[in-house]
Structure 1
Amino acid sequence: MNLYRAIGSIGGLTMVSRVLGFARDMIGSRILGASHANDAFNLAFLLPNIFRRLFAEGAFSSGFVPLFSRRLASGGDKEAEAFSNEILSVFMPALLAVTLLFVVFMPGVLLLVVPDYADTPGKMELAVELTRWTFPYLLFISLVALLSGILNSLTRFAVAAFAPALLNLTLIVALLIAPSDKIEVVRYMAWAVLVGGILQFALCWVAVQKAGVKLRFGKPRLTPAVRELVILVLPATLAAGVYQISQLFYAYFSSQLGEGALTKLSYADRLNQLPLSIIGTALGVAILPAISQAIARGNEDDASDVQARAFDLSMLLTLPATLALVVAAGPIIGALYQGGEYSVEDARVTGNILAILVTGLPAYVLVKVLTPAFYARKNVKTPVRIAMAVLGLGIVANFVLIPIIGIYSLATVTSVSAWINFALLFGILYAKGHFRMPAWLVLRISKQMIAALAMAAALYGIRILAGDMFLGGVVERVLALGALVGIGGAIYFAVAWMIGGMDREAIAALRRKKPVQ
């Protein structure tokens, strides 16, 4: 597998979705502002995504992909197809049952999660209505996770990476055609979430069929394959459950911080998630099958090499993104969101949240890089224990810090927790001999840091020179952001290239479209 080309394919198409997501948020922020209607929609969008990550993307994929890859290698397409159908037949009714339960009992659920919404007339009722429309998205997007696992195992990354763009396209259409009333706007957006989930499912379903894997919804049976997956996934699901509980506390705390708090936190997190999704998620998706196959062959050296190259590539791309967002968080938020109903003060607070949140970005990405080393060895217990300990402490820390630093507590605790999580994962892999940072990797990351610092100094100068351009008209904002991204990127990669902060041979091989050995 050519790691650079795989990451380029996944990251590039993920970037398309994220750009559309920013377009969606830019339109939405100007129409809705930091209002209770926008808070209600962000909550309605958050809840199904919390359970999507719990039941699907993380824990499920980490167990499904190695098992599917193993059957593909040992028994060929037919055995892998049979395994997929056994899982689908159990996965589908379980998701349907969970979805129906939450839709029926949604008023009680939200009363537990965001009790303070009841203090604003109509806010709780609106949140319940919107969440009942968005929650069935969980069913379709979880099935998309299964289909994406099949496609990724077959190294067909493009469709799964592009699918989320369909959700953002439907949301943009909803914003453009909705009536001007804020309540009606968020209703249209909630309906669009459900439509987007159906479209993603349809796209991935067709892609899997074209890949030669014939799926069907059969009678659920607890076969040995299903039991094996459940045993493998259950601990990781428990770990994800702890994380999702922390996300529910995230919503709970935000409901106590006044109108617009959840909206500001959500907009800041969108920018933080951009490099995390493009770099971290793409790397995690790309290297899990490669590490699993290397370990299945008994080749630990190959597995370690994949891990080291992923570590190198992640830092090459993450370090500049981190420093750029720290230095220019305020101007970037102002250029993207300020205007219409989104005030100067709203943008200032959102920028501060972003600057704090991205200090943990390298750790977030490296956790994505290191975790597959555990999953590929069927060791999900260790990441579980670490996640439970770190996130449990994070919840306690928020209870302590919220009264002291308010909304900034959530970003601070999230960032610190990510670094603790990374340090523990790395320490255990090192102690077991599964991953050691070779000297070339340490030296290269040091050079990448030098290049990133040079870029940060240049960005600080651009920020001063650009002044109010970040808050000017559309043309001025585009020019100012273009200068930040273009000049900053050029300086970073030029310095990194000159001082040896990147793998020149790998990039040359990529340009020649030859695999990196």
Structure 2
Amino acid sequence: MLRNILSVGGYTLISRLTGFARDIMLAAVLGAGATMDAFSVALRLPNHFRAIFGEGAFNQAYVPAYAHVAEKQGQQAANLFADRLFTVLFLIQVVLLALALPLMPWLVTLLAPGFKQDPATFALAVALTRITFPYLLFVTMVTFLGATLNAVDRFSAFAAAPILLNIGVMAALAVPFLFPGAAYAAAWGVAISGLAQWVLLYVAAKRAGVSSKLVRPHMDLGVRRFLKAFGPAVIGSAGVQIAIFADTIIASLLPRGAYSALYYAERLYQLPLGLIAIAVGTVALSAMSRQVARGDEAGANRSQNRAVAISLLASAPFVAAFIAIPDLIVAGLFQRGAFDAEASRAAGTVLFAYSLGLPAIVMIRTQVSAFQARGDTRTPMLVALAAIACNLTLKLFLWRDWGAPGLALATAAGAWVNLLTLFVLARRRGWTAPDRRLPGFVAIVGVATIAAGLLAWWFASPAQAWTASLPQPLLMAVLLLSTAAGLLYVAIAGIGLKMTGLLRLLR
């Protein structure tokens, strides 16, 4: 498991680094005003639908179903099962695309009603979203092929695919003279990257012998079992997206730049989600699905405990940094060109609020896997909807007085409700068995996290003074502080876990 997690995490790290380079270019070229707000909506709308119908719902229902068919009926039956679902998914996406393009003004109005007060921003958002929306078709096919590859323990290609999105946007921004404007260049970069990602996954699936083709749909037992799990998974994924929709809608009603502050802060807190939560969750779900299909409940519990320990250990440094020096991190990465100090402070405040829920957000996928591996997508759906209700209620109370940070704080609270509820339900059903060594593990990681955060906070001002004469002084200060705090974290956590023998939880 650890080797696969490192493989996924490594490619995801490259993806996040190129993503930061992409966002640095976007910040310098588009800034944090109306143009960036319009492009953010154009990028977010297809991503909402992808998360609902693609990687969110589909992966949760598909990987356990595929593992069950392969274990019980053999690989040939699993391939036929995949072909039939591929056909259905492709047809759904074609219909969705055909409906969305003419209805784009209505969709943008639904997503960002505040833009109607600025006709120029609204028109730009509609035009850009029509360009980016076909990305949904390609990336959904990418998600399907990636889920199939994950089910047979092939993780690299799917983890590497998002790198092409970042490269596509940066390449297009490098030649803006070929487009009506820089925002149009970025939108076309998104669309073209979808095709490139599909080619990459198709070649990888072909080599693995699991590429899918269009066939006549047939409602056999495997497909019916999948659809039974897929419905609740769609609703559960839609619940998460409803909360993000709410952020988008409310942010469009706040002063200009609020949406951009959410975007840049979200990009930063998504880093540990991609590096850790998605990597660990993807590998854990695949391993636990096979173990449950074989009746190996003890093995499934060991896999889950290992996933929990890895998630905690790897995510804690991000929590320390985002709480201790959020403004400096945003400034170091994005403050240049059209992105000024005020934009850095706004995004930093949002990042701090997001970080309060980061441990829960990272851990949710390790808990959801206990249900999904057993074919239960209904319970996570209901829990997600309850958490979203809490989230939305808090947003309505906080947005007027707290603005964008209030929206992020509500998201953090909803994540904790989601995580704790899942744990309690899984524990009652006997689907999770926390290792008795976990409390000691958490304590040691907690001490290391607090120490690293205090070091970064205490030396934030001195570090900026030390790097003032260097090129990119704010970025150099962030690198200096993160290196020092990271070494301290590794030293305290490493020594503590080794002396107590708790490192064995990671193996």
TM-score, scaled to structure 1: 0.94
- The 5 A counterparts of 1:18-57 are 18-57=16-55
Stretch of structure 1 that moved more, 346-355 or 75-84 = 75-84
Would you say 1:463 and 2:460 are equivalent positions? yes
Hey, what does 1:453 align to over in structure 2?
Answer: 450
User: CA RMSD, aligned part only?
Assistant: 1.8
| Contact 1:283 1:314 survives alignment (8 Å) | yes
Task: Work out which of the residue numbers 143, 163, 167 in structure 2 matches 1:145.
Answer: 143
Hey, what does 1:495 align to over in structure 2?
Answer: 492
Would you say 1:272 and 2:269 are equivalent positions? yes
Q: Which amino acid aligns with 1:142?
A: T
Q: Which amino acid aligns with 1:369?
A: T
Q: How far apart are the structure 2 equivalents of 1:385 and 1:472?
A: 55
Q: How far apart are the structure 1 equivalents of 2:461 and 2:36?
A: 32
Quote how far apart the aligned CAs of 1:470 are.
7.4
Summarize the Cα distance change of 1:58–1:472 in structure 2 as closer, same or farther, 3 Å threshold: farther
- The 5 A counterparts of 1:240-251 are 240-251=237-248
Would you say 1:283 and 2:280 are equivalent positions? yes
Would you say 1:341 and 2:338 are equivalent positions? yes
Task: Work out which of the residue numbers 218, 236, 256 in structure 2 matches 1:239.
Answer: 236
Q: How far apart are the structure 1 equivalents of 2:211 and 2:137?
A: 20
Q: How far apart are the structure 2 equivalents of 1:61 and 1:107?
A: 30
Q: How far apart are the structure 1 equivalents of 2:60 and 2:386?
A: 20
Q: Deviations over 1:413-469 (max 9, x none)?
A: 000110111110111111222223222111111111111111112112331211356
Q: Which amino acid aligns with 2:234?
A: T
Would you say 1:114 and 2:150 are equivalent positions? no
Q: How far apart are the structure 2 equivalents of 1:18 and 1:37?
A: 23
Q: Which amino acid aligns with 2:393?
A: V
| Contact 2:305 2:505 survives alignment (8 Å) | no
Task: Work out which of the residue numbers 125, 128, 131 in structure 1 matches 2:126.
Answer: 128
| Contact 2:161 2:201 survives alignment (8 Å) | yes
Q: How far apart are the structure 2 equivalents of 1:31 and 1:470?
A: 25
Summarize the Cα distance change of 1:506–1:252 in structure 2 as closer, same or farther, 3 Å threshold: closer
Hey, what does 1:198 align to over in structure 2?
Answer: 195
Q: Which amino acid aligns with 2:172?
A: A
Hey, what does 1:442 align to over in structure 2?
Answer: 439
Hey, what does 2:185 align to over in structure 1?
Answer: 188
Q: How far apart are the structure 2 equivalents of 1:394 and 1:451?
A: 30
Q: How far apart are the structure 2 equivalents of 1:470 and 1:180?
A: 39
Q: Deviations over 1:186-219 (max 9, x none)?
A: 1011111111111111100110010012421223
Report the number of matched residues.
Answer: 505
Q: How far apart are the structure 2 equivalents of 1:56 and 1:129?
A: 24
Would you say 1:219 and 2:240 are equivalent positions? no
| Contact 2:229 2:378 survives alignment (8 Å) | no
Would you say 1:75 and 2:81 are equivalent positions? no
| Contact 2:236 2:384 survives alignment (8 Å) | yes
Hey, what does 2:96 align to over in structure 1?
Answer: 98
Q: How far apart are the structure 2 equivalents of 1:245 and 1:407?
A: 17
| Contact 1:86 1:223 survives alignment (8 Å) | no
| Contact 1:24 1:171 survives alignment (8 Å) | yes
| Contact 1:57 1:142 survives alignment (8 Å) | yes
Task: Work out which of the residue numbers 409, 417, 423 in structure 2 matches 1:426.
Answer: 423
Summarize the Cα distance change of 1:406–1:475 in structure 2 as closer, same or farther, 3 Å threshold: closer
Hey, what does 1:84 align to over in structure 2?
Answer: 82
- The 5 A counterparts of 1:376-395 are 376-395=373-392
| Contact 1:283 1:310 survives alignment (8 Å) | yes
Summarize the Cα distance change of 1:241–1:469 in structure 2 as closer, same or farther, 3 Å threshold: farther
Summarize the Cα distance change of 1:77–1:21 in structure 2 as closer, same or farther, 3 Å threshold: same
Q: How far apart are the structure 2 equivalents of 1:316 and 1:245?
A: 30
Q: Deviations over 1:247-285 (max 9, x none)?
A: 221111010012222111010001100001110010110
Q: How far apart are the structure 1 equivalents of 2:373 and 2:123?
A: 45
Hey, what does 2:358 align to over in structure 1?
Answer: 361
Q: How far apart are the structure 2 equivalents of 1:214 and 1:18?
A: 27
Q: Which amino acid aligns with 2:302?
A: D
Summarize the Cα distance change of 1:471–1:338 in structure 2 as closer, same or farther, 3 Å threshold: farther
Q: How far apart are the structure 1 equivalents of 2:505 and 2:356?
A: 29
Would you say 1:308 and 2:316 are equivalent positions? no
Q: How far apart are the structure 1 equivalents of 2:166 and 2:147?
A: 22
TM-score, scaled to structure 2: 0.96
Q: How far apart are the structure 2 equivalents of 1:68 and 1:200?
A: 23
Q: How far apart are the structure 2 equivalents of 1:386 and 1:469?
A: 49
Q: Which amino acid aligns with 2:200?
A: L
| Contact 2:67 2:293 survives alignment (8 Å) | no
Q: How far apart are the structure 1 equivalents of 2:363 and 2:469?
A: 37
Q: How far apart are the structure 2 equivalents of 1:478 and 1:255?
A: 30
- The 5 A counterparts of 1:244-263 are 244-263=241-260
Q: Please list every run of 5 or more consecutive structure 1 residues that lacks an aligned counterpart in the other structure.
A: 508-515
Q: Which amino acid aligns with 2:268?
A: L
Q: Please list every run of 5 or more consecutive structure 2 residues that lacks an aligned counterpart in the other structure.
A: none
Q: How far apart are the structure 1 equivalents of 2:117 and 2:153?
A: 50
Task: Work out which of the residue numbers 294, 299, 310 in structure 1 matches 2:296.
Answer: 299
Q: How far apart are the structure 1 equivalents of 2:253 and 2:348?
A: 20
Summarize the Cα distance change of 1:469–1:82 in structure 2 as closer, same or farther, 3 Å threshold: farther
Q: Which amino acid aligns with 1:353?
A: V
